[in-house]
Structure 1
Amino acid sequence: MRDKLKKLIEAYEELEKRMMDPAVVSDPKEYARIAKEHANQSELVEKAREYLGALDDIDAAKEMLRETSEPDEKEMLQADISENEAKLPGLEDTIKVMLIPGDPNDEKDTIVEIRAGVGGDEAGIFAGDLFAMYERFAASRRWKVEVLSASPSEAGGYKTIEFKVLGDKVYSVMKYESGVHRVQRVPKTESQGRIQTSTATVAVLPEADDIDIDIKDEDLRIDTYCASGPGGQGVNTTYSAVRITHLPTNTVVQSQDQRSQIQTREVCMQMLRARLYEVELERQQAEQGASRLAQIGHGNRSEKIRTYNQPQDRVTDHRIGFNGTYNGVLLGDTLPSVIEALAAADRAEKLAQAV
């Protein structure tokens, strides 16, 4: 442990030197990358220095203890040794957790897509309920939600809705929501009182920037068209809606919910970067034989991760067997407890693999 932590501190100090290198300072992308890595390591290095300091103090006190014959001095030195030795187990456990490889996307904002699945109108209503749940959850954490694109369902809710969540370490929390969500309840549209099962898929994508993914202009086809739906006099007369196709991958994104074509185009580019970044991450993970980064289960759109059962007032997360109340989770009040349990299980699994 001691040698490993010394090397870690040396690498951190090397990063500090590189941040002062004129060649790095003059390259904004490289400087931003190094500065981010430096910031991510700072807390771990602080604990490593504290741990090594305690070991050095123990060694020094033991050396002095061998050389002295004074009872009072021996008692004082033994007390120092005992105090520092008592610190070591807690520091070691903390450092082991911090040494678990982190998800490089954890600091990022996210783009979330909710899509109604099986269940007809009820699936759209459920998709709307999930969006409202995430809105309340985001508000409780002082995060900001921006709707990027939405296709409302006739009976309420949404056929699809894509939105951006901005705030502190958003992806580190929201990534656990990717997958198929299933609801069992009596729909508002059901006159016979029969319970129906419906689904909605949730995809949580880390927001990608120019550093993460390079998109060439010649690889894009950009179409503009008239927006449709509510919006006032300008609707169907102004080409404010934008569709962008990434030709090499045939990835298509579109939006019509912004105030100008320039804003809509920028939103589409954000969505496109996020989707292409997700494809690249999945390719890397497939090569490494790994599951989705830092998620319990695969977290993909085909995996059923959670069931919301209204008649039994129960929500079950199938990845860890966590149970909560229907209203508590869907209203966003106890959703943090579910996510915290998933994160704890994720850390425990990684720690077990690292030992």
Structure 2
Amino acid sequence: MSHDSSMDKVLERRREVENRLSDSANMSNSDLVQFSRELSDLRPVCEQIELVRRIETELADALVMVAEAGDDPDMLEMAQAEADLLREQLPDAQAALQLLLLPKDKDDSRNAILEVRAGTGGDEAALFAANLFSMYQRFAAKHGWKFEVMEVSETGIGGYKEATATISGQDVFARLKFESGVHRVQRVPETEAGGRIHTSAATVAVLPEAEDVDIQIDESDLRIDLFRASGPGGQSVNTTDSAVRITHLPTGIVVSQQDEKSQHKNRAKAMKILRARIYDAERARVEAERAAERKGQVGSGDRSERIRTYNFPQGRVTDHRINFTLYKLDRVIAGEALDEVVDALVSEDQARRLAEGV
């Protein structure tokens, strides 16, 4: 591995990017964002390459010492112990490097837009959608991410017909991207006196947040409608046309926002979601082309796919894509043990990509 020219290219690229960034005053904003992101991706890989090379060099030196120890038993023992220790460290360091050298999903480091919608199952589905939304809110808090609620459409009994949030922080999309799909719940509803188990569902979509430099939207491709915000009545109903509905004519994607009192704020929020949806649609198209060539992908991006079941009577969470079951339902719903499910999905995806060389 020491003489591998591809490793040298990675180290050389880091030097180039660092040199470019040292002259950031003469750089456009989009270049600054792009090079800064590339450098943060390159750093851990380069540090691991340097670690592996250091272990390899020290091991070679220790083996030379073993060969040259001759009749000196103390020197031989010390050199042999050193060589054994380094030989033990090398496989783990090389395995960690192999993982870091996997082609990264370019969207992993992005913030995300989370959308949760109640599916089949009436009030019970809406209550479950609210459970999922708060699960992600607590999961975000655990990771030190910022969770900003953008819009919530509530039902009368504390359920959510749909809810949207922006989640910002480090590697948000990397940790949440496999959450997209249909989540199914099996439990006895609180409203059910007979104690029968109901099955209902909610759909989760996690979109990588797109920046202006990623998606250029032509104003002439937009139809913007203003209307009055509707609400449960009383003070929450607007008396002005501050709610905004934006239709992107080329794709037919429609986004509406009515949470804010100001038309401009609603428009800004709607544009943020629209940009993410257009970006996500393009990402899904590329992913579908790749997936057609290789089956067994963890995150197929198919939102209609049933990905996970939360069985309350058994206290069980099962992810159907990787046949992973965890008997910690309460802690998963509380956002505490969700990492265990996410880790299993990420590991499975990495193992597949390593095996397929993608």
TM exceeding 0.5: yes
Compare 232-241 and 96-105 and name the one that shifted more. Answer: 232-241
* DSSP-derived class of the 2:215 partner: coil
- Contact persistence 1:285–1:291 (CA under 8 A): no
In 2, the alpha carbon distance for the partners of 1:273 and 1:124 equals: 27
Q: How does 1:36-55 map to 2 (within 5 A)?
A: 36-55=37-56
Please tell me whether residue 348 in structure 1 is matched to residue 351 in structure 2: yes
* DSSP-derived class of the 2:247 partner: strand
Compare 125-134 and 71-80 and name the one that shifted more. Answer: 71-80
* DSSP-derived class of the 2:184 partner: strand
Distance 1:15 1:236, change over 3 A: closer
In 2, the alpha carbon distance for the partners of 1:83 and 1:234 equals: 67
RMSD between superposed Cα atoms in Å: 2.8
Distance 1:56 1:142, change over 3 A: closer
Structure 2 unaligned blocks of 5 or more: none
In 1, the alpha carbon distance for the partners of 2:169 and 2:120 equals: 32
Q: 1:281 aligns with which of 277, 283, 291?
A: 283
Please tell me whether residue 152 in structure 1 is matched to residue 127 in structure 2: no
Q: 2:138 aligns with which of 132, 136, 139?
A: 136
- Contact persistence 1:136–1:332 (CA under 8 A): yes
In 1, the alpha carbon distance for the partners of 2:208 and 2:138 equals: 20
- Contact persistence 1:180–1:306 (CA under 8 A): yes
* Cα drift, residue 66 of structure 1: 7.2
* Normalised TM-score (structure 2): 0.88
Which digits, 9 at most, give the CA deviation of each residue in 1:163-188, with x for residues without a partner? 11122221111112111011112223
Which digits, 9 at most, give the CA deviation of each residue in 1:16-52, with x for residues without a partner? 2333457x94222122212211121111101111222
Please tell me whether residue 335 in structure 1 is matched to residue 338 in structure 2: yes
- Contact persistence 1:177–1:299 (CA under 8 A): no
Q: 1:104 aligns with which of 88, 106, 128?
A: 106
The amino acid of 1:119's aligned partner reads: G
* Cα drift, residue 322 of structure 1: 2.2
* DSSP-derived class of the 1:315 partner: strand
Percent identity, aligned pairs only, is 46
The amino acid of 2:348's aligned partner reads: A
Q: 1:122 aligns with which of 118, 121, 124?
A: 124
Q: How does 1:9-20 map to 2 (within 5 A)?
A: 9-20=11-22
Structure 1 unaligned blocks of 5 or more: none
Q: How does 1:1-355 map to 2 (within 5 A)?
A: 1-2=1-2, 3=4, 4-20=6-22, 25-59=26-60, 71=72, 75=76, 81-229=83-231, 233=235, 235-289=237-291, 296-323=298-325, 324-354=327-357
- Contact persistence 1:149–1:254 (CA under 8 A): no
* Cα drift, residue 229 of structure 1: 1.2
